[in-house]
Chains A and B, each alone.
Chain A
């Protein structure tokens, strides 16, 4: 098991969040959206032209840009 960033997941892949390296404002927002260590996250789809990612945590679907997804470290399931 090796850790990687959320942005490298493939469509349909599930992973577990191990760390979030973001500044305070982004960190707070991610927490409120349900990004917490230990939570499972699934990459649903990516937009074309390196657009945002759609991920699912529990019952919430979230859009985030690649640059933000790179700040979230995950363990592939």
Chain B
């Protein structure tokens, strides 16, 4: 099968073109020579199936950033039949350098000057015929977003497929001419085919930025937008998540339980509470991920994410992070899983890893449920909001402390030189496709891991079969007893330790687990907790719950996004250690103070 590689700088609409070409059929896959996964899709072009690969956006073929190396290695090990080079027509003056570098590799190329509509608005005129002649490459104007020029471009690609695929030199970098030569060539080509007005019209972007990046109003507006997004995810996400849960419970009662009725009790439990609940856990995340990336697409595709980086960088830079990490951290307060996936916008791997280490400390909506229940049970209505607020402060403090402690182990390799694209309207199609790709990625990568984890916890809390579920006689109870010397100094009882083992799966089930452990539910459980625990113990338990590993889905995402089990283990280990230390200091401190 013939292969077409999409190449270009970031912010050229390369992914929009990719989506237009492949639709929902694209899948992530592995390629020889590189360690990252790339999105690829198969389409019918001129009667033949061809594979389209979306390569990461790069500024330069010389460079040593992760993405630049990925592109070089990909081209070397998987020579494309066509390199479809996408350039931003409004920035043709500088983007031509990448095309001239690529030209030296003697690839079979077709060039698309995207965002032709924007270029026209700026008053930029490009004579594609002359440019094409000067470079000896077919060049077309295109608006990938609106489809103008798309048909013609695809015809050219189909024609170019007939040419033979060239061979590539052993070392791509050596083949590149020095920059000086490229500069001269650029000037020559531009002089004859491109006209840019001396003064650009004062456009909407300038006016909007005047407000959005205002020295005093910029930050309040930023926090306002974040608050609205966060509320929207809550508002739409909670009912959707409940809906998915109800659907799965209904299916369980109506079909799965009767179907398994003839099996022995242990096997029934394993299949229902282990396997089935595992699948239901994965499914519950689907609406959240779709929603999150719907909003993420808005924030990112409108160009606001770069503005957030501008506003927050002074603060985040000191923590070894950048403004985009802060946006993801805030989004983590809705749900950690998509926030971790969202860090992919940051192209420097160490920066991404540090952000991923920090995000799990965001007090997500699932943890909030636990805290609301426990604060209601143990604190007066007057104290409850303060307690919750203090937990949010601890959440931020844990994140900041972690970033400060570990920033030197994750030195940022990419210079902070970001483009500030003009504000643009994202199309609905782009947003939906983004959500779809992310969900299929999550399901593909995390399901096995999550189901295995849920089964494991079920086994721990239900074996041996002679013991009552989640009681002291089960494996979990034994672990709880064994860990007692460790948990006693932080005021956490062995019953609560078992609940923490459940909490490893998901925080949503902690209250349910407590109900099983105590054999009581609702009001009765609240009363018993209030009788058995003092407020210091309860707060210590909440602190531990806040800081230790959020859930299996987060762990699975940490693994799939970092592609390193060691990083996942490090994140789990550090959060457990920090949780214990925080709870220890709080509990012992409160004891010393006489509470």
Contacts and interface: CB of A to CB of B under 8 A. Distances in A.
B410 interface: no
Contacts of A51: 310-311, 313-314, 317
A50 B418 CA distance: 17
A54 interface: yes
Contacts of A50: 314
A36 B310 CA distance: 23
B60 A54 contact: no
Interface stretch (B20-28, B89-97, B335-343, B396-404): B89-97
B565 interface: no
Given A33-B59, A65-B416, A58 B311 contact: no
Given A32-B63, A63-B313, A65-B317, 10 more contacts: A29-B417, A34-B93, A47-B311, A47-B313, A52-B310, A52-B313, A52-B416, A61-B419, A62-B418, A63-B417
Contacts of B311: 47, 51
B588 interface: no
A53 B65 CA distance: 22
Given A25-B63, A28-B59, A45-B213, A63 B314 contact: no
Contact of B94 (A33, A45, A63): A33
Q: How large is the interface on A (under 10, 10 to 19, 20 to 34, 35 or more residues)?
A: 20 to 34
A-B residue pairs, 7 tightest by C-beta: A51-B314, A32-B59, A34-B94, A49-B314, A61-B420, A63-B418, A26-B415
Interface string B201-219: 0000000010001010011
Given A26-B415, A36-B183, A59 B98 contact: no
Nearest to A36: B183
B309 interface: yes
A18 interface: no
B124 interface: yes
A58 B91 contact: yes
B449 to A, nearest CB: 36
Contact of B213 (A54, A57, A64): A54
Interface string B246-277: 00000000000000000000000000000000
A25 B64 contact: yes
8 contacts: A24-B64, A33-B59, A47-B310, A54-B420, A58-B196, A59-B90, A63-B418, A65-B416
A34 B186 CA distance: 12
A70 interface: no
A68 B416 contact: yes
Contacts of A64: 415-418
Nearest to B216: A48
A30 interface: yes
B417 A30 contact: yes
A77 interface: no
B122 interface: yes
Interface of B: 9, 59-60, 62-65, 90-91, 93-94, 97-98, 122, 124, 179, 183, 196, 200, 209, 213, 215, 218-219, 306, 309-311, 313-315, 317, 413, 415-422
A59 B122 CA distance: 9
Given A31-B97, A34-B94, A52-B313, A59 B420 contact: no
Interface in A32-47: 32-34, 36, 44-45, 47
Contact of A58 (B59, B93, B309, B416): B93
Given A51-B313, A54-B310, A33 B417 contact: yes
B49 to A, nearest CB: 35
Contacts of A36: 183
B512 to A, nearest CB: 45
B16 to A, nearest CB: 19
Nearest to A37: B183
A27 to B, nearest CB: 9
B183 A32 contact: no
A34 B196 CA distance: 15
A60 B196 CA distance: 13
A50 B314 CA distance: 6
Nearest to B306: A63
Interface string A2-33: 00000000000000000000001110111111
A56 B3 CA distance: 37
A50 to B, nearest CB: 6
A68 B65 CA distance: 17
Most buried by A among B122, B218, B314, B415: B415
